[in-house]
Amino acid sequence: MLLNQSVVLSSILRAERIKLDPAKLSAKLGEGDRRKSTNVEHRRSRYSGLLAETGDPVRARAALERLLGGDDLVSINYLSRGIIASRAVCRVRLSSASGDTLGFGTGFLVAPGVLMTNQHVIPGISEARYAIAEFDYELDVTGREKEVAPFELLIDPEPIILQRLDFCLVGVAPRSANTGQELADFGWLPLDPAPGKTFIGEYLTIIQHPGGELKQVCVRENKLLRYDDAGDTIWYNTDTVAGSSGSPAFNNSWKVVALHHSGVPKTDAQGRWLTVDGRVWDQSMDESKVHWLANEGIRISRIVEFLRTAHAGHPLAADILKQITPSIRRGPGESDDATGLRQRTITKGGEMQVTIPVRISVRVGDQPAKGYMATQVPAIHGTVKMDVQRGGMDASLIEKVEIDQSDYYKRPGYRPDFLGNGDLLVPLPVVHEGRLKKDMLTFNGKKDSELKYWNYSLVMNRRRKLAFFSAVNVDANQRPQDSNREGDKWFHDARIPEDTQIGMEFYGEQRIFEIDRSLNPFDRGHLVRRMDATWGGNIKLAKRNGNDTFHWTNCSPQHWRFNQGSKKWLGLEDYVIETFAGETGRACVINGPVFDAPLSQTGPDGRMLPNLKGKRHTDPAFGGVQIPKMFFKVVACAKGRKLAVAAFLMSQEEFLLTVERLKGMPSKPQELLSTAQARLYQVSVALLGGLTGLDFGSLVEADIGTKERLTSRGPKLIEAFSEIKK
């Protein structure tokens, strides 16, 4: 069936407005980490759904990590669950009053006796009056066509039709006039009102009747490209053709995330549609000949929101909003229930009937707490009620950050004697290189340069508006279990001028679900990790101390792939503490950016190797801010009465080479850019001092790598923590 010109035209206009290039977006997205294309509320919602689906917090977290990490392996029951979901999908045959076939679309049951399809498939009552929903128009396991079960569509109650969201809800007769089959045999697909049911980069699955043909499924080449969080649509590159309009788009949990409704055609300079073989398309040709660039679906959450606000009393909408769980009948060989829950199976009239529980209650957290939220999370053919305690669900969730800026004078800052006195002292570095020393920011009448916080201190570079270094005392034994939460707000340090701190004016509020990070690919990277500072005498103090790391002074611009993908960098302190500190769990960690580091060299294996003794190269600029190419970290622990110190480097230089608007970086071959990654190196403290212009004092002699001649051999690539010199 030919799409309404207005539907396709609106898709073209939207594509032009956002300059959508599906091929480029898909290439940028790749198969890697999806965390930066989601926000925390999105992850919270998805975790809730996975927990409802599995009933097991461990399995839910594991599934969430796989999805975020781009791992598309799924349990084998994914296939049987898809078969169950597919039963609710039908071909919509459009006919004239005389019975002539006018065209085809796809539809699916969304409540008992309620069918959803596109408005441009069924635009009015006259079209609904003669339309037929044909179920089981598909092949069975032997490759033979099943007997089709046709059901009449009803015009009483009157269908709900909305052009803006391109959907139609219409009643379906409870029994097939031809076969006597019950509509209830085909189940239905609940519409989850929660937003964020799929991740950018996740593969969607669309069950459809393309061109009015037998039921088919697209399970690959269907990546979600864009999530219009402010609007009503999602974009994906799933293979669909005419007749697919009205199909359900599913996520990996077989939840309906969108109503497929249109495509974006490739056009020539005059705006004429082009066919797959490059010719100009006209209306005498079948729509399947069009060269579609991308597909668009209407977000289910938007449709449910509209029904709740505008048609809550309508019988068709009421059935959807109630989300009553029905019994489900399955075809031969369909033995696994869609949700993995315990089920009741009986045989009746030669058919197997499977009934799943109506409701499951899951509470996360030990005790009910003030402020817990209750959310409805529907599963396939069912509803799950979840009580989720705020702040007790998942360690990756964002938590409100509050900082008392009236008591800076109380903050003790970093303690050099944290590990002990004498040989165990770990002093703050000293900025000794002349060209850097003049950039050191002073305050309090130029008496002080050390900005003291709870459990850590730092010294600022006035010219670069970044810290020379930060130093934190870490007590891993006093960390609360949820100490690695993300925060929702950053603060300027009131002791120094705001214009000496890089803040939100540079980082900007990244768009939710944004894929193309070329506008600003730089994250707010903690120098002192929140987790390192989050410890104290009780949970309240620990939280206060961790929150203090959300000062712009403790932030440095890091490429999002560096910030999100450097697992070795993030876990480095923990490994060193566990290896060297023993039962004390204590360490002093000093880290910061390396200003104007020499450019790396390409080694014989094609990898870029830091050139620690090379000529300094001015850091490149982005949006008027110079971006450090490299970061350092020094970890000191007490091994008995001796100090054990290890120094490390990690470069984001390879990622910077991929940033088009960055000024001051040399060009590199494309094959090098395609393998860009963050690599961890161990270096000597002596070499690090020369590279950074910082004097680390007695830490040079306590360096555990000195005897291994790291100073003369240069940086050692660390591909596993076990390779760190001990």
Q: What's the pLDDT at 286?
A: 64
The Cα–Cα gap between 308 and 301 comes to 10
Residue indicated by tokens 């399947």 = 288
Residue indicated by tokens 């009131």 = 494
Parallel, antiparallel or unpaired: strands 114-117 and 101-111: antiparallel
The Cα–Cα gap between 38 and 515 comes to 9
Give all domains of the chain, ordered by start, each with its CATH number: 5-30+74-324 (2.40.10.120), 411-723 (3.40.570.10)
The Cα–Cα gap between 149 and 136 comes to 6
Q: Kindly list the averaged pLDDT for each block of 10 residues, start to end, along the chain of length 726.
A: 48 48 62 66 73 78 74 79 93 90 92 94 93 94 91 94 93 90 93 82 85 81 65 66 76 89 76 83 71 80 90 90 53 41 41 42 36 33 32 45 92 96 94 86 93 97 96 91 70 95 82 54 91 92 94 93 73 83 88 94 75 90 93 93 91 84 73 64 92 94 72 77 78
DSSP label at 413?
-
Q: What's the pLDDT at 31?
A: 65
Q: What's the pLDDT at 403?
A: 92
Which residues face 174 on adjacent strands? Answer: none
Classify residue 190 as exposed, middle or buried by CB count within 10 Å of its CB (0-12, 13-18, 19+).
Answer: buried
Q: What's the pLDDT at 569?
A: 81
Closest C-alpha to 247, from 116, 150, 152: 116
The Cα–Cα gap between 569 and 591 comes to 11
pTM of the predicted model as reported, rounded to 2 decimal places: 0.51
Question: What's the distance, CA 548 to chain centroid?
Answer: 26
Q: What is 610-640 written as a DSSP string?
A: --TTS---PPPEETTEE--SEEEEEEEEEET
Q: Quick check: bond before 157 cis, omega within 30?
A: yes
Residue indicated by tokens 């403790």 = 554
Q: What's the pLDDT at 406?
A: 92
Q: What's the pLDDT at 20?
A: 57
